[in-house]
Amino acid sequence: MVQQKKVAFYTLGCKLNFSETSTIARSFIDEGFQRVDFEERADIYVINTCSVTDNADKRFKTIVKSALKKNKNAFLIAVGCYAQLKPEELAAVDGVDLVLGATEKFKVIDYINDLSKNEIGEVHSCEIEEANIYEGSYSIGDRTRAFLKVQDGCDYKCTYCTIPLARGISRSDTLENVLKNAAEIAEKGIKEIVLTGVNIGDYGKGEFGNKKHEHTFFELVQALDKVNGISRLRISSIEPNLLKDETIDFVATSNSFVPHFHIPLQSGSDELLKLMKRRYLRQTYTDRVSKIKEIMPNACIGVDVIVGFPGETDEHFLETYNYLNELDISYLHVFTYSERPSTEAVLMDGVVPQNVRNKRSKMLRGLSAKKRRAFYEGQLGNELTVLFEGENKEGYIYGFTENYVKVKTTWNPELVNTLHNVKLTHIDTDGLVRFDWIKEPAIL
């Protein structure tokens, strides 16, 4: 009897990468491979790379070494954004056998032969202009929530960003296929779907291979709200200029879309927003937050912000800090600017010293902790619904309310992937929220 080959996966970066890793993994399973955890010995290790930060680049070598410690003869494959941007660089890393670019990664099985180690990694990577075909994907089995990809690529030219170089032009899944994938996810008993993509507010562009919009993001939201069997739909990161009033109004009364928005800001300085070539100024962002809070006072709003962008003076940073301090938001994702090759920003004057970047990052992370605490305190006494996650962490199970408050209670495996009504009571010493059951656990 031929022993089944084992394959393991490691994902760096965003929700979109997680959805694509899951789809690539299913292609291996369909060919008879057994998927195992990355910490286990495997015949093949697939690493899905990220290029957003310098740290993600550096981690790649560490992950390769970790895989080879488990099996020095394992066949190592690199895919993802960094693999598209710097394929030769990844191929030169000791132990890497195959590097696949933006379109090739979805055909990984076609590039695998006898799993013999290569002296130098083999590269198959298209020119990014050729990355104009849409490949749908979604993640299941990895987490309680499913990440559903609806869009890929980006036509924006932000001066700090390599994503258009790594993923190509903006293009969308067909509405029909998105709804089919959502129905498949629902059939597997998953309670929550997170919509993901590079620029999901641009949904509809390139839906059938052309540049015009066949559908809008709002039409996508309306259609998904009618899918049976999904308790929650969550919008991941969406540009403030593409988050329209009609979408906000719809979420407020939706059957399944939850009151949680993650909206990139990047800087609270109009001067820096222009240098970044963002497609809005600060007033647009203020208007979006005000609109959400006006009709959904308990909505959770997350913010992406970059510190240390070239030309960011102390005054610019304080402008951002004070703006965010006054804004009615719930948490921050803080990114320390890192120079990315082939971007406009890398050639700009006014480079901010690394120690200054680190100091500013620390200040904003502290502000984020304060904002999250204030948001959680504002939710105490509210009756909300919790979806419980699947991990036992030191005797506790964790979950999230519809508006993204993280809660904890004593571990009970019967709670995994179930929804329960609770009343938030107090914030624990670790900053997470405790609750009382509205009803003793009964599966909803």
257 closest CA partner among 277, 283, 293, 227: 227
Strands 34-35 and 6-11: parallel
Distance from C-alpha of 400 to C-alpha of 191, rounded to nearest angstrom: 12
The pLDDT score that the predictor gives to residue 135 is 80
C-beta separation of 266 from 224 below 8 A: no
* Element holding 274 (H helix, E strand): helix 270-276
Judging by DSSP bridges, how do beta strands 192-196 and 145-149 pair with one another? parallel
DSSP state of 216: -
Among the residues of 256-307, which ranges form H helices?
270-276, 282-295
pLDDT of residue 246: 98
* The dihedral sign for the CA sequence 326, 330, 336, 340: negative
**Which residue's structure tokens are 């994902």?**
11
What are the pLDDT tens digits along the chain (444 aa)? Answer: 457 899 999 998 888 888 999 999 999 999 999 999 999 999 999 999 987 666 666 788 899 999 999 999 999 999 998 888 888 989 999 999 999 988 889 999 989 877 888 878 889 877 667 667 778 888 876 567 899 999 999 999 999 999 888 888 999 999 999 999 999 999 999 999 999 999 999 999 988 777 778 899 999 999 999 999 999 999 989 999 999 999 999 999 998 999 999 999 999 999 999 999 999 999 999 999 999 999 999 999 999 999 999 999 999 999 999 999 999 999 999 999 999 889 999 999 999 999 999 999 999 999 999 999 999 999 999 999 999 998 888 899 999 999 999 999 999 999 999 999 999 999 999 999 999 999 876 554
CA distances from 19 to 117, 149, 150, 383 (A): 28, 7, 10, 32
Q: 52: alpha, beta or left, given left = phi > 0 and alpha = psi -120 to 50?
A: alpha
Q: Is 67 left (phi over 0), alpha (psi -120 to 50) or beta?
A: alpha
User: Are 7 and 36 within 8 A, CB to CB?
Assistant: yes
Number of C-beta neighbours around residue 315 at 10 A? 10
240 and 285 Cβ atoms separated by less than 8 Å? yes
Domains for the chain: give ranges and CATH numbers: 6-126 (3.40.50.2300), 145-378 (3.80.30.20), 383-437 (2.40.50)
Report pTM. Answer: 0.92
Rounded to whole angstroms, the Cα distance separating 342 from 330 reads 34
Q: How far apart are CA 5 and CA 1, in angstroms?
A: 12
Q: How many residues does the chain have?
A: 444
Q: How far apart are CA 431 and CA 444, in angstroms?
A: 27
Output the CA torsion sign for 250, 251, 256, 257: positive
List the one residue out of 101, 99, 192, 100 whose CA is nearest residue 138.
192
